[in-house]
């Protein structure tokens, strides 16, 4: 398939004569980038994770420039670091709008907005762990909670039953189309740590508890969460340690420390880049010599 794809890419290069070719990772990136190299066309790769993906690693020595979403990805590889720039991840307009919403942690009597999301691969563990963790919180915190959680349809009855019993104010759904706005209105986010999620948490500047998806060959989610955690904007909990007791302890501590939440929000924002689209466009123009 890669051989056939390269042949198609060569034909495409002959027809369109591009000024530059930019790849964003994954095996479909390989044929057009190989073809670009054959024709001497300037090329760039962009990697959104804190650990470079395998296709991008294969291409990294052959391209003219490397753009990364997160800092420090290639710091330990001097030859590649010299042609690497951290541009960030280009953000959709809804994220840019959400980033304009200031963060202010609630005092110890005000409502506390908790958002729980996990994506298609992560929602089950959130349904298993978050409700029993909420049960372990002090009743005084139950009355403050406004909980929004992504829940699969098959998990909905058991999750809703627990929250109804505790009289927690909740909004449960399998999918939220307005997630950027919900991120902006939240005081704390519990989530997996995919590249897009980490970039958006940084751009908007929201404190988070991140549970990396285990089992990935390159442990990219673990590394992604580490960027925010090292900056002070998140707490990273390996799934093996993600228990109701541990989660309840973290939520209780954060809900009781507004100053810490405000500091985490500021630290997360330092990782985010709102000008990523401009930065990436500038890099393309420079490499293409346009």
- pLDDT for res 98: 97
Residues 205 and 267 sit within 8 Å (Cβ to Cβ):
no
Residues 284 and 20 sit within 8 Å (Cβ to Cβ):
yes
Query: DSSP assignment, residue 86?
Result: E
Domain borders along the chain are 2-89+274-288, 96-271
CA end-to-end distance (rounded Å), the chain:
33
- pLDDT for res 121: 59
Residues 255 and 144 sit within 8 Å (Cβ to Cβ):
yes
From residue 4, how far is each of 32, 36, 50, 264 by CA, in Å?
A: 11, 15, 31, 49
212: closest CA among 104, 32, 68, 51? 51
Q: Which residue has the tokens 């390159």?
A: 218
- Tokens representing 270 are 């330092």
CA atoms within 13 A on the CB side of 152: 13
Indicate the pLDDT class of residue 218, thresholds 50, 70 and 90.
confident
Chain Cα centroid distance, residue 272:
10
Give the other-Cβ count within 10 Å of 76's Cβ.
Answer: 8
Share of the chain above pLDDT 90, in %: 94
- Tokens representing 52 are 């470079």
Could you tell me which CATH number the domain at 2-89+274-288 has?
3.40.50.2000
Assess whether the region 2-89+274-288 and the region 96-271 belong to the same CATH fold.
yes
Query: DSSP assignment, residue 208?
Result: E
pTM: 0.93
Instruction: Give the C-alpha separation, 121 to 224, whole Å.
Output: 16
Length of the chain: 290
Q: In CATH, what is the architecture of 96-271? A: 3-Layer(aba) Sandwich (3.40)
- Tokens representing 131 are 């409700």
Q: Which residue has the tokens 């999620």?
A: 197
143-202: pLDDT as tens digits:
999 999 999 999 999 999 999 999 999 999 999 999 999 999 999 999 999 999 999 999
- pLDDT for res 290: 80
Instruction: Give the C-alpha separation, 46 to 44, whole Å.
Output: 7
Chain Cα centroid distance, residue 140:
32
- pLDDT for res 90: 95
- pLDDT for res 123: 74
Return mean pLDDT, the chain.
95
Instruction: List Cβ neighbours of 8 (8 Å cut-off, separation of 6 or more).
Output: 31
Query: DSSP assignment, residue 94?
Result: H
Give the dihedral sign, CA 78/79/82/88: negative
90-127: pLDDT as tens digits:
999 999 999 999 999 999 999 999 999 986 655 799 99
| DSSP states along 124-180 | HHHHHHHHHHHHTS-HHHHTTEEEEEE--GGGHHHHHHHHHHHT-EEEEES--TTHH
């Amino acid at each position: 398939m890669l051989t056939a794809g390269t042949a198609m890419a060569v034909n495409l290069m002959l027809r369109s004569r591009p000024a530059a070719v930019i790849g964003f990772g994954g095996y479909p990136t390989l044929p057009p980038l190989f073809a670009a190299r054959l024709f001497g066309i300037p090329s760039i790769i962009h990697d959104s994770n804190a650990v470079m993906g395998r296709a991008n690693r294969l291409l990294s020595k052959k391209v003219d420039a490397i753009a990364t979403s997160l800092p420090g990805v290639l710091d330990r590889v001097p030859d590649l670091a010299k042609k690497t720039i951290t541009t960030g991840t280009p953000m959709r307009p809804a994220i840019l709008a959400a980033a304009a919403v200031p963060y202010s942690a609630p005092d110890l009597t005000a409502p506390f907005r908790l958002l729980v999301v996990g994506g298609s691969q992560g929602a089950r563990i959130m349904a298993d762990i978050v409700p029993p963790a909420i049960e372990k919180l002090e009743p005084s915190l139950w009355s403050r909670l406004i909980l929004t959680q992504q829940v699969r349809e098959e998990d909905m009855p058991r999750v809703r039953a627990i929250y109804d019993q505790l009289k927690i104010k909740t909004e449960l759904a399998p999918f939220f189309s307005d997630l950027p706005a919900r991120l902006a209105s939240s005081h704390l986010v519990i989530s997996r740590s995919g590249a897009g999620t980490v970039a958006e948490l940084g751009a908007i500047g929201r404190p988070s508890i991140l549970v990396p998806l285990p089992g990935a060959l390159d442990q990219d989610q673990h590394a992604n969460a580490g960027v925010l955690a090292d900056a002070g904007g998140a707490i990273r909990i390996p799934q093996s340690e993600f228990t109701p007791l541990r989660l309840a302890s973290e939520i209780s501590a954060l809900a009781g420390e507004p100053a810490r939440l405000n500091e985490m929000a500021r630290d997360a924002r330092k990782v985010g880049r709102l000008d990523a689209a401009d930065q990436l466009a500038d890099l393309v123009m420079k490499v293409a010599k346009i």
